[in-house]
Amino acid sequence: MDDAGPSYWESFELLKILDLEDFGVKTLSETIGTLSELIYLGLRNNYIQEIPHSLRGLKRLETLDIALNFMLEVSDIIRKMANLRKLESLAYTSIYDWAYEMMASLKKLGFEEVDENLDVGKNFAKLKKYRVLDHLILKGYRFRSVSCLDEIVALHRLKAIKLDGRLSSLPSADHFPPRIRYLSLVNTCLDEDPMPVLKKLPHLVRLKLRNAYISREMVIQHNGLRSLKVLRIGELWNLRNLHVREGEMSKH
């Protein structure tokens, strides 16, 4: 991949999906920009340090996954990639390198390196202008805790949220976006039962909890999770008792 020249990429001129996850790629040739039909480009978990400028020519690109390229800096190239105005999904990029210009079409956005040193409220305020953004992913940095997320309510159009990283506490129900339908809590390691908060989210349809809670008992309380259709629980290593009170989740 590091040495692929123009003649190599010409063989794939009609390619729509290119997933190079775990390929050990260090550099991408500028000739990758000849893949004019590409709608999905996956570059996850490689050693890429720079995005080729030729990606500006990928007019059909809808999804760019650059997660786990730990030395990658993307702020300058994102400003120059005018075609990103049509991008619908971008995951993941460092929240510290993020450029907010020219990305109004994003529906799904994933950030990594979120920790307690970051004022996430300022970032949420900037994201308010993304009028079609309805899916947000926040991934913590190693073992550091994610800072308070109460101001996420400013993103009132969000329907799906994934939080991956340690949390000292969940936002209160009043601080969740009111339209939230899907919530994923991964590696949050909460001390307190999240259900008293989650039961107050009236439109929640799908809930995933993976290594999300470290105590022994969880209670789905009265009038809770009335709209829930899917509940996925995994890696709650200390959980011994899950109580579902009579009348709860009665639709399913």
Domains of the chain: 1-84 (3.80.10.10), 107-252 (3.80.10.10)
Structure token pair of residue 242: 């899950």
pTM above 0.85, yes or no: no
pLDDT by position in tens, the chain (length 252) = 666 666 777 778 899 999 999 998 888 888 888 888 998 999 888 998 888 888 888 888 878 888 778 777 665 666 566 565 556 777 777 777 676 655 667 889 888 888 888 888 888 988 888 889 999 999 988 777 888 899 999 999 999 999 999 998 899 999 999 999 999 999 999 999 999 999 999 999 999 999 999 999 988 876 778 889 999 999 999 989 888 876 555 554
- The answer to whether 41 and 61 have CB atoms below 8 angstroms apart is yes
Q: Which of 120, 121, 64, 71 lies closest to 92 in space, CA to CA?
A: 64
Structure token pair of residue 186: 């991964």
Q: Which of 130, 128, 124, 102 lies closest to 111 in space, CA to CA?
A: 124
Amino acid, res. 3:
D
Structure token pair of residue 10: 């010409």
CA gap 110, 242 in Å, rounded: 31
CA gap 229, 213 in Å, rounded: 21
pLDDT, residue 210, reads 95
CA gap 149, 173 in Å, rounded: 12
Q: Which of 211, 204, 210 lies closest to 220 in space, CA to CA?
A: 204
Structure token pair of residue 119: 């004022």
Residue 235 Cα distances to 57, 157, 178, 188, 196, angstroms: 43, 30, 28, 11, 20
What pairs with residue 217 in β-bridges? 241
